[in-house]
Amino acid sequence: MPHIRLAHALTWPPFAYVAHGQSVGTAVEVARTVMARIDWTLSFVPVAFDELAATVLAGHADGMLPFGRNLEREKLFDFTEPLIHSGGALYVLAPAPTPQGLAEMAGKTVVSPKTGPLVAYIRNSYSAVRVVPAADYEESLQLLVDGKADAAALNDVVGGALAARLYPGRITPAARRFLQIPLCIAVARGKHQAFVAECDHGLGLIQADGTWERLTRVEGAN
């Protein structure tokens, strides 16, 4: 059987993380299920979130998951069809309501993790918004709670879960997304194209029989 090595972040629940020495999470389970359908073997390479792309480009893993697809990243990577449908959302201090969108944040400060795609998106699409890169999700939420940012732009699933855990009742759950972000498996551009095609076939199979919906609905990720 052909084999693929996929890197994932050490801690990015509920999508991918390490628990009791094992790779777990929604994206991990979707990938395992797909690989079983297309008769590929699979191993995981857990790394720090900000080392994912470098790990693949250096050849220490064949691909990574789940990785948000956008035009900038397509210059370096090829992507499968989405493992999970996700998006960017704005988090504000309670009891304020979720902003209608980024246009409403003109002249205000929005913080977002520097390793994600949202900093570049906001800078390129909403120049009137002051976007501040943070080290990670935890720092983004800390800056919001400390009053150093008007909002935090985060993945809607990961951000919501972390906000509820770290600051229960202090941050408004996001009511909407301002950006749709497909989370995929990414491989270095021009490499492993046979894998990408077969993975897409496997994703189609588990979507057709309802398996994909069951796996992603468990974590509320679709």
Span 93-114, pLDDT tens digits: 999 999 999 999 999 999 999 9
Identify the pLDDT of residue 115.
85
Give Cβ neighbours of residue 184 (< 8 Å, ≥ 6 apart): 65, 66, 67, 68, 69, 79, 80, 81, 82, 83
7-25 average pLDDT score = 95
Average pLDDT over residues 178-207: 96
User: Each residue of 108-160: pLDDT tens digit?
Assistant: 999 999 988 899 999 999 999 999 999 999 999 999 999 999 999 999 989 99
Distance of alpha carbon 88 from alpha carbon 123, whole angstroms: 14
Q: Please report which confidence band the pLDDT of residue 222 belongs to, taking 50, 70 and 90 as the band edges.
A: very low
Q: What is the pLDDT of residue 218?
A: 47
SS (H, E, C) the chain: CCEEEEEEECEECCCEEEECCEEECHHHHHHHHHHHHHCCEEEEEEECHHHHHHHHHCCCCCEEEEEECCCCHHHCEEECCCCEEEEEEEECECCCCCCCCHHHHCCCEEEEECCCCHHHHHHHHCCCCEEEEECCHHHHHHHHHCCCCCEEEEEHHHHHHHHHHHCCCCECCCCCCCEEEEEEEEEECCCCHHHHHHHHHHHHHHHHCCHHHHHHHHCCCC
What mean pLDDT is reported for the chain? 94
Domains detected in the chain: 3-85+181-218 (3.40.190.10), 86-179 (3.40.190.10)
Return the top range by mean pLDDT from 83-87, 113-117, 168-172.
Answer: 168-172
121 or 219: whose pLDDT is higher?
Answer: 121
pLDDT value of residue 219 = 43
